[in-house]
Homo-oligomer: A and B are copies of this chain.
Amino acid sequence: MTGFAVAVWVDGHLSMLDQRVLPHEVISRNYYSAEETAQGIKDMVVRGAPAIGCAAAFGVAVEAFRIAKQGVPASWPAAMAPGLKLLEESRPTAVNLRWALERMRPLLTTTPPEEVPQRLLDEAQAILREDHEACMQIGRHGARVLPDTGERPITIMTHCNAGALATGGVYGTALGVVRGAVDLGRKVRVIACETRPFLQGARLTAWELLQDGIATTLITDNMAAHLMSRGVIDCVIVGSDRVAANGDAANKIGTLGHAICARRYDIPFLVAAPISTIDLQAADGSHIPIEERPASEVTHLGGKRIAAPDVAVHNPAFDVTPAELITWFVSEKGVIAEPTREKISALISS
């Protein structure tokens, strides 16, 4: 099993693998404050909802250590407020970010002031550890509901990267299910959609799966429907950045189209995500904010212009797949078929 230093604590600071340049370059960068961490999240040095949660937690810890160098502040909540705000606003869609911050925040008042930095770091490390465990469980639960293909290898299509690189560095969510199937002894082939404009599929998913020796074929996003129509795809598995209370799931732009096409061809569509991705405050998908990213992500690649000059651009980073198109929702607490408000609620309390 391959592990990655997606967001880890090294020598008293946060270190993140720069996912913008993977796999062409493998570079880790250091972060010494919440401000730097927030900028790293915004610039997509780290991406993937659970990974952003881990990074933000370490960002809180590193900020506290930075502040403590000037002495213990009169009020930890006041001293930390600007950094927490920057982290919270760094990406709008992934709810794991907010979830991680909400888990860190109470410690500012419930911990003896001089122990706050270490306590925050312990909590960030706990979030990372729990993420590893959740991914393993997601993989185990998800693998059990994959369609039976008999002796034939199962072909799983995925979009974006919901792998080790999108989580705490091991297993992943959607790719956790792929690895869970491999662990069960199944022969697995993965079709990775390249995932424009940021190419997480072409760069990250293909790279991390090939390192585990899992057969992976790359396609452009717009080839998915064709392969589905030809019976090539046995199921689709994606991650999620925020699941609403009714089961609607926001995920990387392009997911919705895949879900609609999968339904047409009766192909099971799985969403794999930890419980921390569920946002009960969002009644349904219409309450999930969709981040609009810079036009240059679409018009340029590797610093070079690939589109006609002066054209206007729309660049929403996520879309929302309605619950009715989701065959299985897979979490560390188990799976639910065709998610509804009631089933989501029962899963959380289970």
Taking a contact as CB atoms closer than 8 A, the residue among B202, B310, B312 that contacts A308 in the complex is: B202
Q: Which of A112-120, A135-143, A221-229 contacts B (4 or more CB under 8 A)?
A: A221-229
Main secondary structure of the interface of A (DSSP, over half): mixed
The interface residues of chain B lying within 8 Å CB-to-CB of A218 are 298-299, 307-308, 311-314
The interface residues of chain B lying within 8 Å CB-to-CB of A202 are 298-299, 306-308, 311
Interface residues of A in 171-206 (CB under 8 A from B): 191-197, 199, 202-204, 206
* Interface bracket on A: 35 or more
Are A312's CB and B196's CB within 8 A?
no
The interface residues of chain B lying within 8 Å CB-to-CB of A206 are 307-308, 311
Min Cβ gap A113→B in Å is 47
The interface residues of chain B lying within 8 Å CB-to-CB of A304 are 302, 304
Interface residues in chain A, defined as those with a beta carbon under 8 Å from any beta carbon in chain B: 23-24, 191-197, 199, 202-204, 206-207, 210, 215-227, 229, 253-254, 256-257, 260-261, 264, 290, 298-299, 301-302, 304-316, 319-320
Min Cβ gap A100→B in Å is 27
The interface residues of chain B lying within 8 Å CB-to-CB of A308 are 23, 202-204, 206-207, 210, 218
Are B225's CB and A256's CB within 8 A?
yes
The interface residues of chain B lying within 8 Å CB-to-CB of A220 are 196-197, 221, 253-254, 298, 315
Docked Cα-Cα span, A215 to B314, in Å, equals 13
The interface residues of chain B lying within 8 Å CB-to-CB of A299 are 202, 218
Are B253's CB and A226's CB within 8 A?
yes
Docked Cα-Cα span, A224 to B254, in Å, equals 8
The contact sample of 9 A-B pairs, CB cut-off 8 A, is A193-B222, A199-B307, A202-B308, A220-B253, A220-B298, A221-B221, A229-B320, A257-B261, A301-B301
